[in-house]
Structure 1
């Protein structure tokens, strides 16, 4: 594991130095990422200009949900989001090159064209969370859950990226399927899940565990009952859900690698 992390950091630093050769472009891309994601906050702000609560959650609680979901996704997207570009490498034949290098194919895919500009989204989500948390002022007996839920969210989104990558060994349009659960998942979890149908909430709790990105642990932090009456222990099941999904993703990726056949290009 230490060698994997060292390799990732070395490759990420190489791409970062390459990006720094064009500081103007890098600054504009980072600023653009910051501005675009700020529009999501503006949309939530507009909603609360017309209502005092959404499914019983006030503006500050909504900002908390938004901040935790966006920060988890932004970190995962920067670290592992490039995996969803696997089909492009397969079609171009460049994935074959990765298989003969002395580094894991997943690490090479994850760090390929490492996007430092995605830091803009991370900064924006961190700022929102930094504003929301002091206003909520949860006691330390509950606040300890916040860093844990962000970590679990990163693992869950990274696992979905990996599953989407593994699916691309079979389907050329698999990135669109994965995006429904990554980009779509972060949009879903930015709002209280109680605004959605009960069947959808159960699906993202027991099938694709997006509810553990922030919803279930947020109910614990905010000391709120589950609107659907799901068991209380689910609020602490985030680490188990994240590890289970990560294990499935790892198995899917290894299966895809074993069954992969070169394009011959």
Structure 2
């Protein structure tokens, strides 16, 4: 078998990426070992995070206690949207959830120290204070999916079964790209952390419900501007065998992986532009 790193072009790309992944894993493992020194506290924090995150699912159940359908969708279908969205968001949050702290480092001048270390500043910010309690966010999403998938009234063809891991992975990549972009925005707008959370946490909340609950212009916005519709909405239309309210071609339902690649590429460009724009604080 040919070694992909033997290709000069592939090697120049793959080697730095592999190195940064190893460094991220090393930094994250350091924080995990520190947290593991207090196992009872760690377990309690994981359980607390799982319970707090699960309140979103409880809110959906409470909503359907007073209505049979919401925007034409039943409880199982909305819980399916919640589970796929929450799982994708939790995966991205575990890996890159602290990227939006960049503004704090810019204000404090600590970013300068990160820039002179032999590790990408993005890796350092993303792995900062990595804690296993973030994994608690995966628990309610996984439990909801285990509960609701057998109850969905859909024809489980091989294509629909294969779509489940694809949509979760693509959704996680889209959220990851958004984390990096909102972090990079703080190179230009240092005090924007609160506003940028509307894209990440707000986007996660939005994708837990059918976009048809909201104004039609919002549906267009999360499809063509901030592509949150490709986190789970468009692939879910395929899984649930539902028509597209915007009348888009059926091929759009399979576009999530391509959109994820585009969002991650845009995030990389934005991050590099932010680093070039940044001027040292002199600290």
Query: Under a length normalisation based on structure 1, what TM-score does the superposition of the two structures give?
Result: 0.97
Alignment pair present for 1:30 and 2:46: yes
Cα offsets for 1:157-182 (capped at 9, x unmatched): 11111111111111122212221111
Matched with 1:133 is 149
Alignment pair present for 1:68 and 2:103: no
Measure the CA separation in 2 of the matches of 1:81 and 1:18.
Answer: 19
Measure the CA separation in 1 of the matches of 2:36 and 2:282.
Answer: 35
Report the more deviating stretch, 131-140 or 111-120: 131-140
Cα offsets for 1:201-231 (capped at 9, x unmatched): 1111011100000000000011111123222
1:152 shift after superposition? 0.9
Q: How many residues align?
A: 265
121, 140, 145: which one aligns with 2:163: 145
1:59 shift after superposition? 1.0
Matched with 1:93 is 109
1:24 shift after superposition? 2.7
Alignment pair present for 1:167 and 2:185: yes
Asked if the contact 1:68/1:125 (under 8 Å) is kept, the reply is: yes
Alignment pair present for 1:112 and 2:118: no
Instruction: In structure 2, list runs of 5 or more residues that go unmatched.
Output: 1-16
201, 223, 231: which one aligns with 2:249: 231
3, 24, 36: which one aligns with 1:20: 36
1:84 shift after superposition? 0.3
Name segments (4+ residues, structure 1) moved above 3 Å. none
Larger radius of gyration: 2
Query: Under a length normalisation based on structure 2, what TM-score does the superposition of the two structures give?
Result: 0.91
CA RMSD of aligned residues (A): 1.2
Asked if the contact 1:163/1:178 (under 8 Å) is kept, the reply is: no
Instruction: In structure 1, list runs of 5 or more residues that go unmatched.
Output: none
